[in-house]
Amino acid sequence: MVEHDERELLHSVFTFGDRIAREVMVPRTEMVWIEASKTARQALALALRSGFSRIPVIGESVDDVLGVAYLKDLVRRTQGQSGQVPVSEVMRPAEFIPESKPVDDLLSQMQVQRIHMAIVVDEYGGTAGLVTIEDILEEIVGEITDEYDVERPPVEHLPDGSVRVSARLPVEDLGELFDVDLVGDDVETVSGLLAQELGRVPLAGASATVAGLRLTAEGTTGRRNHIDTVLVRRVQPPATDQDREEQTADA
């Protein structure tokens, strides 16, 4: 008798050939990248903070990917004063593939050419995202989790008055928790709200203030190093009914 997990694995294998790069890639909104004008030492610091061993190097914008910086190259070049060289002098050429490329063909190409990362481009030549061999293999075996992993509560009140929340907590729930109005364009989670304020993917330690709340990204989880929790503390007192009435009168 085939167990549930085995059925899921068989289903993934049989449907693998129907997938395309766009369906397995890391979208551009979740990409961690660095400008070509930054130094190799700065790129190394970003790699260590983000947990990624390969980081796209961009020119004018994220649609202008110039190459890929490898952690091992950065470590080698940051010895002594050479760490001040531009990361553009350390990067390797980037591999570009169309978002419509079948995943099975892509996996074969990456294995034959020994490519670990490819930049996915849309029909207009812009950057749609990136894909790694790990992303493709995950489509077959799924996300690997440890049997001893402990599920955190979505909301945890701390002794100092701050609150630790899941990065996936809905923005509306956070607003209700602190009695504030949190409105974000196309943002559904606390992680998304923080990313919107920062203008980039939040890494551990990144913080921003929204509606009187200080949001600080904490530890990461999973192979893509998504932030796991966000520490929230109020940095200004909540508005009273009188304050709201005065604001309405002023308007």
Ordered structural domains, the chain, with CATH: 4-141 (3.10.580.10), 155-241 (3.30.465.10)
CA distance 99 to 110: 15
How far, CA to CA in Å, does 7 sit from each of 2, 23, 34, 181? 6, 21, 41, 45
pLDDT in tens, 50-70: 888 999 999 999 999 999 999
In this prediction, residue 91 carries a pLDDT of 96
Reported as type and span, the H/E element at residue 10 is helix 4-15
- pTM, two decimals, is 0.67
CB under 8 A, 24+ apart: contacts of 212-219: 212/180, 212/236, 212/237, 212/238, 213/174, 213/178, 213/180, 215/190, 217/167, 217/191, 218/164
pLDDT on residue 250:
54
pLDDT tens readout for residues 118-150: 999 999 999 999 999 888 877 766 554 444 445
Residue 242 identity:
Q
pLDDT at 29 (0 to 100): 82
Q: 40: Cβ–Cβ under 8 A, 6 or more apart, which residues?
A: 69, 74, 77, 78, 82, 83, 84, 85, 86, 87, 89, 90
pLDDT value, residue 137: 79
pLDDT, residue 1, reads 44
Using one digit for the tens of pLDDT, what is the confidence trace for 175-214? 999 999 886 666 788 988 888 888 888 888 889 999 999 9
Query: What pLDDT is recorded for position 140?
Result: 64
Which residue, chain included where needed, has tokens 């993934």?
12
